[in-house]
Chains A and B, each alone.
Chain A
Amino acid sequence: MSKKNNDNTSKSLLWKLLRKHISASQLVGFSLASLIGLTIVILAVQFHQDVKPVFDDEESFIRKDYLIVTRKVSTAKTFLGGSNEFKPQAIAEIEAQPWCRKVGKFSSNDYSLYATMSVGSMGQSMETMMFFEAIPTEFIDVTDRDWKFDPEHPEVPVIMSRDYLSLYNFGFAASQGLPQVSEGIVSSVPLLFTFRGNGRSETLKGRIVGFSNRLNTIVVPEEFMKWSNERYGSGVERDPSRLIIEVNSPGDVKMQRFLDDHGYQVAGDKLQQGKAHYFLNLVVTIVIIVGIIISLLSFFVLMLSIFLLLQKNTKKLQDLLLLGYSPAQVSKTYINMVAAINAAVLVVAVIIMLVSRASYMSMLKSLGTDGGNIIIALIVAVIIMALITAGNIIAIKRKINSLWIHSS
């Protein structure tokens, strides 16, 4: 008889012997608990990965450590004509604060401005009064190569708030029976800007080069703002009413106190964003913890099940060791079983995660994100399962080694 045949014989005989007392219901219970735990953990991780881009938008104007600051608008100021602008000394004071790295001024147009946009196939067009703002390019992390202005070939690149597009799509277009448009279409639609002021009335072509989730305004390059204000404006330099500040840490208490004391407001969007992000993290963390607890419980269910099994098979296992089987050979039967179950749980959990992801991604896509990478969730799944399997293997080996010496 060949050695290989003998090995197969011993394996199948071992399995025939040791599978006795294996409780199918216990193993199914473990598998389900383990599956639920693992699925919750990796789904939470994946969801976090997928939702994160909505918060840290790549194309966003403002990274985490930028704040947009305005002065509080009060009713009294509105009627009494108080100023909402930042005077040079106020800006200097902000620049002198230890938490401040850089201050950028928002400048706005000093002339009247109309935008015309053709929509629909019938040649309908939409005309609206509008405004521009500009901030120094260093505060903009859009790296579009069109983000420049050349007075020789005047064309106006614009970055627009994504909210405006939503407002058009879900408010205006829906009520007027006009087609809804995507970002891509809007970017390709020709825009015309009409400038009036200083005795001139001129029309320039414009183009939307990007959308921002965070900055609730329409931004043009600073060099264009300067050029157009000189050309159409009154020539009076105005102080900015909004500032963009690069800070060391947005959560700084001293900074918060300074802003409060001076009646400055941080743009609500940023704060809301921060809160939403905070709650997202909190919820995901809670869900992950719940998943891990379920995984741990399932781990103990399996351990208990295996210990009961080994306990019931103690005499058999000892007799096998007496025949000359090594603890490793005997353990292998159970280790293979556990590894097969855990691998199956891993595969099914990943499949459930991917299916669930497909169903929520359609929703997320409408928020303008393609989701994150699935690698991290996969790595987390493999690590968790590897840890559980390693724990199982160690416990099985220890238990079987403990059977080596019989008590008299």
Chain B
Amino acid sequence: MNIITLHDTLPAVFAGRQPTHSEIWQRDVTFEKGKNYLVSAESGTGKSSLCSYIYGYRNDYSGTFAFDGKDIKTLTIEQWCSVRTHHIAYLAQDMKLFPELTALENIMLKNSITHHKTVQEIVEMMRRLGIDNKLDTPVSKLSIGQQQRVAIVRTLCQPCDFIVLDEPVSHLDDVNNLIVAQMVMQEAKRQGAGIISTSVGNNVKISVDKEFKL
């Protein structure tokens, strides 16, 4: 997958409202593989909706999203599974971790279907983020900030063309923000992937090729 294009898209809940000043909604937008994008937004402007449309678990919008020109509403479930394991790495705002599993189990749940990282690599990433002592701790026992770091490691455990991050550092301090930014950019560079990151203020400190105001 090389490009994601948006043509005249608008969340269904916004239908009928006055035309917005959004640089995303009701515009033609292209995200290219290998480039980094920041989508900054105020709360309630459809930031998480944008991510859920691209990741295919909601379709309550008008207009067209396309992967390499193919309307994503035509993708089959099998194709979506392939997108989610090989083309788009996604970090949801609410992280979607399983609280009853340990930090490592949560990550292995993803890695065991992508076969992307070794356990050593995973532990090394966790060490960089300062949570290698939490490997066997159930996620329910971790702080929000620790959970966010576990979720970021899990997101990077797959081959991808785009990394979509929905407020990846909302609960992180500057130091960890920087580490996350470095790790994400390294992984993206290694795979030649693009990064689409959203933020309501606390931006992940990646170098950005283009910024959109939602």
Contact = CB atoms under 8 A, between A and B. Distances in A.
Interface of A: 1, 3, 6-7, 9-10, 13-14, 16-17, 20, 316, 318-327, 329, 401, 404-406, 408
Nearest to A319: B96
Nearest to B13: A408
A20 B100 contact: yes
Contact of B58 (A319, A321, A329, A406): A406
9 contacts: A1-B119, A16-B100, A322-B57, A323-B113, A324-B85, A329-B113, A405-B57, A405-B59, A408-B12
Contact of B101 (A6, A17, A324, A406): A17
Contacts of A318: 57
A406 B57 contact: yes
B57 A321 contact: yes
Chain B contact surface mostly: helix
A330 B190 CA distance: 31
B175 interface: no
Contact of B113 (A319, A325, A404, A406): A325
A318 B84 CA distance: 13
A38 B18 CA distance: 64
B77 A326 contact: yes
Contacts of B81: 324-326
Interface of B: 11-13, 49, 52, 55, 57-60, 77-78, 81, 84-85, 90, 92, 96, 98, 100-101, 105, 108-115, 118-119, 158
B77 A17 contact: no
A20 B105 CA distance: 16
A13 B57 contact: no
Contacts of B98: 17, 316, 319
B109 A10 contact: yes
A324 B111 contact: no
B84 A16 contact: no
Contacts of B77: 326-327, 401, 404
Nearest to A321: B57
B96 A322 contact: yes
A327 B78 CA distance: 9
Nearest to A401: B77
Contacts of A16: 100-101, 105
Contact of A322 (B59, B92, B158): B92
A320 B115 CA distance: 16
Contacts of B100: 16-17, 20
B196 to A, nearest CB: 16
Given A318-B57, A406-B57, A324 B112 contact: no
B52 A326 contact: no
Given A324-B84, A404-B57, A13 B109 contact: yes
B110 A323 contact: yes
A90 B44 CA distance: 103
Nearest to B110: A323
A318 B158 CA distance: 19
Among B77, B113, B118, max chain A CB count under 10 A is at: B113
Contacts of B115: 1, 3, 6
Contacts of B85: 324
B57 A6 contact: no
Given A326-B77, A406-B52, 6 more contacts: A9-B112, A10-B108, A322-B84, A322-B92, A324-B158, A406-B58
Contacts of B58: 405-406, 408
Contacts of A322: 55, 57, 84, 90, 92, 96
B151 to A, nearest CB: 11
A24 B55 CA distance: 36
Given A7-B112, A10-B113, A326 B78 contact: yes
Contacts of B92: 322
Nearest to A7: B112
Nearest to A325: B113
A9 B11 CA distance: 38
A324 B114 contact: yes
